[in-house]
Amino acid sequence: MKKILLAVVFGVFATASMAQYDENALAVLDAMSAKYKKIPAYSANITSSLINETEGLNEKFSGKIAVKGEMYKLELEEQLVINNGTTVWTYLPDVNEVNIDNYNPEDDEMSPSKIYDAYKNGYKYVLLGEQNVNGVLCSEIDLIPNDRDAQFFKIKLFIAKSDNSLKSWTMFDKSGNKYKYSIKDFKQLNNAKDSDFTFNAADFPGVDIIDLR
């Protein structure tokens, strides 16, 4: 029994060590990051799911995302989120209301503009193997935060082996929730303007503006 317990303990420490120094995972992550850094701006269709198996929860949302540098626009059925790197607008169409707040990078660590570089700061990483994701062979990589108090205790990435593109990622929190995001119809945007990432109240007649700054 002691031998089995010791084997489990050593296995856990071996996995932690791999997650911190896995050069194979780092090579895949660096290739993915380099790919997106070369693209000035892009758009894609995105599907998100909130899953909690214990509570029988499985909610799905779909929408569109556009990203340029640190800026992004996320269009979902129930809300529109625009971030220009300084200000964040969250528009709720059902009540025709927009909330305006200052952008705090520390509060938005897993934003669409940062997911490709998240591994570079405060994470261990491990290459688990290969998985087929919607017909695409992907490398499966887990990111584990160094901060044990982090909101998400694990982030799982699936990166296409053929072109180093990120196909999906799932974030796991301590309450049992899993937030899964999948990307399709990726397109490079050659004429994206900074003004595309600003909320224009004139486009939403009668909008109720709540400034939280």
Angstrom CA distances, 211 to 7, 44, 91, stand at 56, 29, 12
Domain assignment of residue 2, yes or no: no
10 Å CB burial of residue 48 (0-12, 13-18, 19+) is middle
Q: What is the pLDDT of residue 13?
A: 32
Residue with the larger pLDDT of the pair 4 and 50: 50
* Number of folded domains that form the chain: 1
Tell me which residue range forms the domain holding 66.
19-211
Distance, CA of 167 to CA of 152 (rounded, Å): 20
Q: How far is CA 140 from the centre of its chain?
A: 15
> Token match 């790919």: residue?
35
Does the structure show a pLDDT above 70 at 121?
Answer: yes
Domain assignment of residue 6, yes or no: no
Q: What's the pTM value of the predicted model, to 2 decimals?
A: 0.76
Domain assignment of residue 56, yes or no: yes
Distance, CA of 17 to CA of 27 (rounded, Å): 17
What per-residue string of b and e applies to 94-103 under the rule 16 or more CB within 10 Å gives b?
eeeebbbeee
What per-residue string of b and e applies to 58-68 under the rule 16 or more CB within 10 Å gives b?
eeeeebebbbb
Q: What is the pLDDT of residue 136?
A: 93
Helix (H, G, I), strand (E, B) or coil at 137: strand
Does the structure show a pLDDT above 70 at 14?
Answer: no
Domain assignment of residue 173, yes or no: yes
CATH at residue 171: 2.50.20.10
What share of the chain in percent tops pLDDT 90?
53
Angle at 73 between CA 70 and CA 75, to 5 degrees: 155
Domain assignment of residue 154, yes or no: yes
Q: What is the pLDDT of residue 21?
A: 58
What share of the chain in percent tops pLDDT 70?
86
Q: What is the pLDDT of residue 122?
A: 86
Q: What is the pLDDT of residue 152?
A: 87
Distance, CA of 63 to CA of 16 (rounded, Å): 36
Domain assignment of residue 206, yes or no: yes
Q: What is the pLDDT of residue 183?
A: 87
How many CB atoms neighbour CB 51 within 10 A? Answer: 17
113 pLDDT band, cuts 50/70/90, is low
Q: What is the pLDDT of residue 126?
A: 94
3 pLDDT band, cuts 50/70/90, is very low
Domain assignment of residue 82, yes or no: yes
Q: Cβ distance 112 to 65 under 8 Å?
A: yes
Distance, CA of 125 to CA of 18 (rounded, Å): 7
Residue with the larger pLDDT of the pair 28 and 9: 28
Bridge partners of residue 184, in order along the sequence: 45
Domain assignment of residue 128, yes or no: yes
Q: What is the pLDDT of residue 108?
A: 53
Distance, CA of 39 to CA of 31 (rounded, Å): 13
